[in-house]
Amino acid sequence: MPGHVVLLGDSIFDNGVYVPGEPAVIEHLQRLLPRDWQATLLAVDGAVVESVYRQLERMPTDATHLVLSVGGNNALRVAGGVLSAAARTVRDGLAEVGAAREEFQSEYRGLVNQLRGLRKNLALCTIYDAIPGLPSAEVAGLCLFNDVITRAAIESKLTLIDLRTICNEVRDYSALSPIEPSASGGSKIARAILDSFFDPTAGSHVIG
């Protein structure tokens, strides 16, 4: 039976401008899918959790499989604010980061619940953290965001595509912007998406 995969979220999927002359994630996926399947890109560079709702307004009526990759730009906001602010103690700093995590958790779970309500096959992606030159404080901060995403997948029995273990080489990141996937990274991401829906053991499990 033919299917229609829809990519939601941010520039992890909408990476065309960062791989000039090479295939973007959506193009890799379209080449990998069976002939009677199709893929649509609704993800938008720069999107945060809240803005994904606008992407849903353009959802194809025949969509069968949804993949969500969002949260990196929410984390960037925290890095530019909370992580850059002074704190009297480590405990005070962690309390600020914890508050940011709770806000993200509320927004992310709300979005996942909305997507589950569409009754489509759904997979969630973690935020990768092997970005060249990423400071250790930011890597530590991403653990909190990825904890939210991982828990959401487990609690809802959804497939988790763990980009942390998939995009784990320097060549997986764009030379134009190190926080974006390169053509190599995009190829890995597309393959993981394919595996998440065509793996006979698919269900509540991790792809990575």
Instruction: Identify the pLDDT of residue 198.
Output: 77
103 has pLDDT over 70 = yes
pLDDT in tens, 144-203: 999 999 999 999 999 999 999 999 999 999 999 999 999 999 999 999 999 998 764 555
Instruction: Identify the pLDDT of residue 207.
Output: 79
Mean of pLDDT values over 35-55? 97
Q: C-alpha 95: how far from its chain's center?
A: 25
Mean of pLDDT values over 30-51? 96
Domain 4-207 listed as CATH 3.40.50.170: no
Higher pLDDT, 14 or 88: 14
Instruction: Identify the pLDDT of residue 41.
Output: 98
pLDDT in tens, 87-99: 566 666 666 667 7
Cβ neighbours of residue 87 under 8 Å, at least 6 residues apart? Answer: 93, 96
Percentage of residues in the chain having pLDDT higher than 70: 88
Summary mean pLDDT of the chain: 90
Instruction: Identify the pLDDT of residue 197.
Output: 85
Domain boundaries, the chain: 4-207
83 has pLDDT over 60 = no
42 has pLDDT over 90 = yes
The structure's pTM equals: 0.91
